[in-house]
Amino acid sequence: MIAPIRKYAFLVYHRDYDHFLDDLGELGVLHIVEKQTELDKKTLDKLDQLKQVNEAISFLKNRDTEKKGTKTEEDGLELYKLITEKRNKLEVFSQRHVALIKEMLQAEPWGDFDRKTLDRLTEEGLTLKFYVISHKKFNPEWAEKHHVAVISHHQSQVHFVVVNKDGEEAFEPEEAEETKLPKRPISAVLSEKKQVEQRIRNFNEELDEFAGSALPHLEEAANRLETETDYKRAMLNTAEQADGKVKVLEGFVPMDKRKALEEYLEKNHILYLSHKPEPKDNPPVELRNGKFARLFEPIAKLFALPSYKELDLTPFFAPFFMLFFGFCLGDAGYGLIFIIAGFIIRPRLKPNLKPIVSLVQFLGVGTVIFGILTGTFFGMNLLQTDIQALESIKNFMLNSQQAFYLAIIIGVVQILFGIGVHAVNRTRQYGFKYALPQIGWLMLLPGMGLYFGFEGFKLAGNILMFGGIFLIIFWSDPKASIFGRIGKGLWDLYNITGVFGDVLSYIRLFALGVSSAILGFVINDISMTIKDGMPYVGPVLMVIFLLVGHTANIFISSLGAFVHPMRLTFVEFYKNAGFTGGGKAYKPFKNKLKN
């Protein structure tokens, strides 16, 4: 759900305004209404610096923070400059290291040579040409008949040199590729490579020391920059009245946080106005969901925040998403791995990462449910096994055709549920009569199902269908004229083809589940072939192949099992639920140096 919010306007005497902003920053509850978006160059520079400091913080947090350094600058901005300098040097040496590896691969077949000696041979009238050819095509007779010296046999290729004297017929071996001798011998390349690697190690050690000791100073600098820019934004969004004697500031505060603010205002005798936000105000959005739905908020935010006036769809799509993921992955064994792995790694993680693990575990629960329904366990088809303990639950397992129908049924259920949510949303926003077209769809679609699918319910189907069509056509737009309503209603009714297309989109749940199961089955089949074909090492190789194969299948299938339910949520469900989005996140004005 979206936290209810209140709009405030403050009128403050200009001499008290700076102190007022300081107090607001310490309270940290007011989301300031932004009216002026253009910032001066100094503030823009600070914002750019803040971005770079935050990047440095993220960079150091990914390093070894346990290694405490002994030398740190107290000023975070000076530290940032030093770290940036070292990062830039590390990047230069890393790029040089990549170039040296490439040069080493080119120089290695030619070994060590003295460039001065080669130059003297040229001065004596000798011409040296260097060639590469595959082992199969190299003719040993070349070395017997001509001045040919093999330098190395490297990676199925022969590297050799041909020496020709001036005035004699030059020998040019057929099919061999002429190449150039590297600029430096391998020893020189390896020597520089060793020096560069040492420099890289030194820089990494220094950066690890910074990660262990400099992070607090950098975070303090980031908080300072953010606070300074926030104060600047607050000043820019402050209006002046009475020839600048009175400052006016507007903002939003969640209802559950207004008490502390109003107590401060009353205590300091600050004049303020407070009222519920109007639609034109575009209030910020703060999501407030239960423990389960809260886990899915990061997924919802990937698309957009809801606007303040509409419903938050997170708690409505969360159960479906969990089940969709399970349908797509569809292997009870894989789901158990998610659940067990979550219990193992959760205690070792930072608090901000634990909700992600909990989300993965719930997705694992959905996978176990559908793995049992479809009878799949680590690629094994439980319907075809002779395990006595499973006989009692085999009647509940679905074959491929039933799983296909289940995907369609789930699609119909979610689409109808989305239309119902749309009806509730429109009732909340505009009134019941604006929800009548959605109610019409809720009558029309089930009515068609009854009429065409059940012989004994044709009359009920007819009543629902024609009642739904009436509501869609004549209540499509209560504000329009009768002809406008009919025209818009007929156009909306044409959308029934889109609804059928939406339902068919849910077939992807079945398709992905089947593909995951088939990959698991193929992995098992190949592993058994390996076991039977190698009497001694076969069982060991079988276990290795099973581990590698199923791990790869989990990663590949999980990616599809996450992306495609997200697509069904954001396209099919959001569309039928009438989601508009466009909400902006609640970001209170806060002095981060004191909070």
Two structure tokens written together for 361: 């575990």
Decide if 378 is inside a domain: yes
**Cβ pair 83, 58 in contact under 8 A:** no
- Whether 263 and 217 map to the same domain: the answer is no
Decide if pLDDT at 215 tops 90. Answer: no
Decide if 589 is inside a domain: no
Two structure tokens written together for 561: 């099992």
Decide if 581 is inside a domain: no
Mean per-residue pLDDT for 296-317? 90
Decide if 586 is inside a domain: no
> Please, which contacts does 523-531 make with residues 24 or more away whose CB atoms are closer than 8 Å?
523/379, 523/549, 523/550, 523/553, 524/378, 524/379, 524/380
pLDDT digits (tens, 9 = 90+) for 128-162: 999 999 988 998 888 888 888 999 998 889 999 99
Q: What is the pLDDT of residue 391?
A: 65
**Cβ pair 86, 206 in contact under 8 A:** yes
Residue 533 to residue 539: CA distance in whole angstroms = 10
Decide if pLDDT at 334 tops 80. Answer: yes
**Beta-bridge partner residues of 240:** 247
> What are the E-state strand segments in 494-577?
none
Please list, residue by residue across 259-281, b when 16 or more beta carbons sit within 10 angstroms of its beta carbon and e when fewer do: eebeebbeeeebeeeeeebeeeb
> Helix (H, G, I), strand (E, B), or coil: what is residue 180?
coil
Decide if 593 is inside a domain: no
Q: What is the mean pLDDT of the chain?
A: 85
**Cα 486–Cα 492–Cα 493 angle in degrees, nearest 5:** 85
Q: What is the pLDDT of residue 390?
A: 65
Residue 339 to residue 345: CA distance in whole angstroms = 10
Model confidence at 205, in pLDDT bands (50, 70, 90)? confident
- Whether 548 and 403 map to the same domain: the answer is yes
Q: What is the pLDDT of residue 64?
A: 67
State the CATH number of the domain containing residue 260: 3.30.70.2030
- Whether 300 and 399 map to the same domain: the answer is yes
Two structure tokens written together for 508: 């992807």
pLDDT digits (tens, 9 = 90+) for 17-74: 888 888 888 888 999 888 766 777 888 888 888 888 888 888 887 776 666 555 555 6
Pairing between β-strand 376-377 and β-strand 380-381 as defined by DSSP bridges: antiparallel
- Whether 434 and 303 map to the same domain: the answer is yes
Model confidence at 280, in pLDDT bands (50, 70, 90)? confident
- Whether 188 and 302 map to the same domain: the answer is no
Q: Name the least confident of 204-208, 495-499, 524-528.
A: 495-499
- Whether 317 and 171 map to the same domain: the answer is no
Q: Which of 285, 413, 508, 363 is nearest to 421 (CA)?
A: 413
Please list, residue by residue across 442-479, b when 16 or more beta carbons sit within 10 angstroms of its beta carbon and e when fewer do: bbbbbbbebbeeeeeeeeebeebbeebbebbbbbbeee
Decide if 590 is inside a domain: no
Decide if pLDDT at 189 tops 90. Answer: yes
Q: What is the pLDDT of residue 364?
A: 93
Decide if pLDDT at 173 tops 60. Answer: yes
Q: Which of 22, 590, 586 is nearest to 252 (CA)?
A: 586
Q: What is the pLDDT of residue 595?
A: 52
Q: What is the pLDDT of residue 486?
A: 80
**Cα 541–Cα 545–Cα 551 angle in degrees, nearest 5:** 150
Model confidence at 252, in pLDDT bands (50, 70, 90)? very high
Residue 418 to residue 246: CA distance in whole angstroms = 49
Two structure tokens written together for 547: 């581990």
On the CB side of 347, CA atoms within 13 Å amount to 3
Q: What is the pLDDT of residue 66?
A: 66
Range of the domain at 521: 291-386+394-576
Q: What is the pLDDT of residue 107?
A: 92
First to last CA, the chain: 27
Q: Name the least confident of 186-190, 208-212, 466-470, 578-582.
A: 208-212
Q: Which residue has the tokens 């679609």?
A: 445
Residue 285 to residue 312: CA distance in whole angstroms = 10
Q: Which helix (H) or strand (E) holds 150?
A: strand 148-154
Non-local (6+) Cβ contacts of 174 within 8 A are none
Q: What is the pLDDT of residue 326?
A: 92
- The total number of structural domains in the chain stands at 4
Higher pLDDT, 392 or 526: 526
pLDDT digits (tens, 9 = 90+) for 374-424: 888 888 887 766 666 666 676 777 788 888 889 999 999 999 899 899 888
- Whether 321 and 335 map to the same domain: the answer is yes
Would the pTM of this model clear 0.95, i.e. be above it?
no
φ/ψ region of 125 (left if φ > 0, alpha if ψ in -120 to 50, else beta) reads: left
Mean per-residue pLDDT for 362-366? 93
Residue 505 to residue 502: CA distance in whole angstroms = 5
Q: What is the number of residues in the chain? A: 595
| Residue 130 backbone dihedrals phi, psi, to 5 degrees | -115, 135
Decide if 587 is inside a domain: no
- Whether 306 and 264 map to the same domain: the answer is no
- Whether 459 and 504 map to the same domain: the answer is yes
Q: What is the pLDDT of residue 516?
A: 87
Decide if 585 is inside a domain: no
Q: Which of 311, 584, 279 is nearest to 438 (CA)?
A: 311
- Whether 327 and 299 map to the same domain: the answer is yes
Model confidence at 320, in pLDDT bands (50, 70, 90)? very high
- Whether 302 and 446 map to the same domain: the answer is yes
Residue 277 to residue 240: CA distance in whole angstroms = 22
**Cα 555–Cα 572–Cα 440 angle in degrees, nearest 5:** 155
Q: What is the pLDDT of residue 282?
A: 85
Q: Chain-centre distance of CA 220, in angstroms?
A: 28
- Whether 398 and 459 map to the same domain: the answer is yes
